[in-house]
A = this chain, B = another copy of it.
Amino acid sequence: MSQPGAVGRRPTLEAVAALAGVGRGTVSRVINGSPSVSERARAAVESAIAELGYVPNRAARSLVTSRTDSIALVIPEPETRLFAEPYFSDIIRGVSGVLADTDMQLLLTLIRTSHERQRLAQYLTAHRVDGVLMVSVHEDDPLPDLLDRIEMPAVLSGRRSDLESVSYVDADNVAGARSAVRHLLRRGCRAIATVAGPPDMYVARCRLDGYRQALAEEGLEHSDDLVATGDFTEDSGRAAMRALLERRPDVDGVFAASDVMAAGALLVLRESGRSVPDDVALVGFEDSVVARHTDPPLTSVRQPTEEMGRTMARLLLDEISEPGRLRRQVVLPTELVRRQSA
Contact = CB atoms under 8 A, between A and B. Distances in A.
A150 interface: yes
A163 interface: no
Contacts of A127: 10
A63 B55 contact: no
Interface string A14-56: 0000000000000000000000000000000000000001011
Nearest to A127: B10
B96 A108 contact: yes
Contacts of A58: 59, 126, 128
A119 B149 CA distance: 35
Given A55-B126, A58-B128, A150-B6, A110 B88 contact: no
A275 interface: no
Contact of A108 (B92, B113, B119, B293): B92
A63 B53 contact: no
Interface stretch (A99-107, A154-162, A182-190, A244-252): A99-107
A112 interface: yes
B85 A289 contact: yes
A110 B126 contact: no
B55 A125 contact: yes
Contacts of A86: 85
A7 B86 CA distance: 38
Nearest to A85: B85
A333 interface: no
A205 interface: no
Given A58-B128, A80-B89, A96 B110 contact: yes
Select the residue from A57, A113, A116 with max chain B CB neighbours within 10 A. Answer: A57
A221 to B, nearest CB: 34
Given A108-B108, A293-B294, 6 more contacts: A10-B125, A70-B107, A100-B116, A107-B108, A289-B293, A290-B293
Interface of A: 6-7, 10, 53, 55-60, 62-63, 66, 68, 70, 73, 77, 80, 84-86, 88-89, 92-93, 96-97, 100, 105-110, 112-113, 116, 119, 122-123, 125-128, 149-151, 289-290, 292-295
Q: Which 6 residue pairs are nearest across A and B when measured between Cβ atoms? A: A293-B293, A85-B85, A55-B126, A59-B62, A96-B110, A59-B63
